[in-house]
């Protein structure tokens, strides 16, 4: 539990919670920079692309620390918002998927 708390603190203080905002469509892609990778999340659906989500969160109905960090960062107004134009959406998604593989 201490490890998760330290990870949460590091992510939030390091502005690791990012909202990629596309205009004018208002599409939103959430990512969290973890200790090793950047993970894609959908906080509204409770989904994260990290291994902990698959191995622990789904089995135990819990949340990984990336999802927790989004909640806390939103509450503390520590989300880094990065704006893009809609014309950049396809290349962003392609790069995100490539990084996940």
> Domain locations in the chain?
2-100
Reported pTM: 0.82
Q: Which of 84, 85, 86, 87 is nearest to 31 (CA)?
A: 84
Spell out the alpha helix ranges (H) of 21-88.
Answer: 51-52, 58-60, 65-75
- Give the pLDDT confidence score for residue 25 in this predicted structure: 97
Does the pLDDT of residue 46 top 70, yes or no? yes
- Give the pLDDT confidence score for residue 23 in this predicted structure: 97
Q: Which of 22, 38, 39 is nearest to 90 (CA)?
A: 22
Q: Is the dihedral of CA 44, 101, 72, 23 positive or negative?
A: negative
Mean pLDDT score across all residues of the chain = 87
Does the pLDDT of residue 88 top 80, yes or no? yes
Does the pLDDT of residue 79 top 80, yes or no? yes
Does the pLDDT of residue 2 top 60, yes or no? no
How sure is the predictor about 98, in pLDDT bands with cuts at 50, 70 and 90?
confident
Strand partners, 84: 22
């Amino acid at each position: 539990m201490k490890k998760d708390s330290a990870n949460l603190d590091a992510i939030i203080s390091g502005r690791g919670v990012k909202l990629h905002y596309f205009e004018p469509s208002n599409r939103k892609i959430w990512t969290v920079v973890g200790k090793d990778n950047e993970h894609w999340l959908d906080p509204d659906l409770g989904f994260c692309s990290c291994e902990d989500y698959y191995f622990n969160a789904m089995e135990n109905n819990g949340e990984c620390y990336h999802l927790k960090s989004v909640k806390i960062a939103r509450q503390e107004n520590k989300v880094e918002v990065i704006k893009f134009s809609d014309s950049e959406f396809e290349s962003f998604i392609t790069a995100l998927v490539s990084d996940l593989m």
